[in-house]
Amino acid sequence: MRLIIKFSSVEEPVPISYFLNKFTIQGFFYHIFLLSEKLKYKHEEKGIKFFCFSDVFMKDNYYYILFSSPSKEIINEVYAVLKKLKHFYIGYRLFKKESVKKINIKLGKKIRWETGSPVVVYYKNKPFSFLKDKEWDVFFQRLKENSIKKFEIFYGEKVEIGEIFDRAEFKKSVAIPLQKDERKFLIFGSTWKLLEKSYIGKNERKFYKFIMDAGLGEKNSLGFGFVNQIKE
């Protein structure tokens, strides 16, 4: 399940580049967690956090961000907190909440996704970059292994799948600037025009629904690996 959050700047508009540092957006969601009795210790937990968010985008002078999670509790609590808020800070800027809506996307017999934020996959202890690493098979194998690992941790059950996707259209490699405290660094990822599985059986739908909500690849709770369904 996911939320779509619509907001506007209280002062002068800020450029989309303001939201590039994913730690700034993650900090906003952790603040939301702190306002919930059920989630306020979530950011201190070790291991996978099981939520993801898209890049911020603009439409008609409003900002939008999508937030997703396979956990109904996380979705419901974030929704409840945001419904009560009129304003919030992202970084040092004050924004007005315009609306927050729940979206439950049902999967059919096939999936056609595009990325809503870069996908990060680690290979040989560093982020895989198509600028240097040319092995597509390695990328998709690591993507599959990571997705299975997260699914099995979340549900406590085994899952077996074949190729994670049977068709893909690469968009570009990206280097995202990050800053945490005084430390600045880049993380490499990739964006995709299309990630398609032409047929998913009933026994696979739970898996694909999970990775759509949890995010693809690694560093999902930092806003990487968000996917959207392509409208037919």
Please tell me the distance from the alpha carbon of residue 92 to that of residue 80, in angstroms, as a whole number: 23
User: By three-state DSSP, how is residue 225 classified?
Assistant: coil
Catalytically active residues are: 30, 43
CB of 87 closer than 8 Å to CB of 10: yes
Determine which helix (DSSP H) or strand (DSSP E) holds 224, and give its type and residue range: none
User: By three-state DSSP, how is residue 133 classified?
Assistant: coil
Nearest to 212 by CA among 78, 103, 56, 81: 103
Please tell me the distance from the alpha carbon of residue 28 to that of residue 126, in angstroms, as a whole number: 27
Query: DSSP letters of 145-187?
Result: HHHHHHHHHHHSS----S-S-SEEEEEEEEEEEEEETTEEEEE
**What DSSP designation does 7 have?**
E
**What DSSP designation does 42 have?**
G
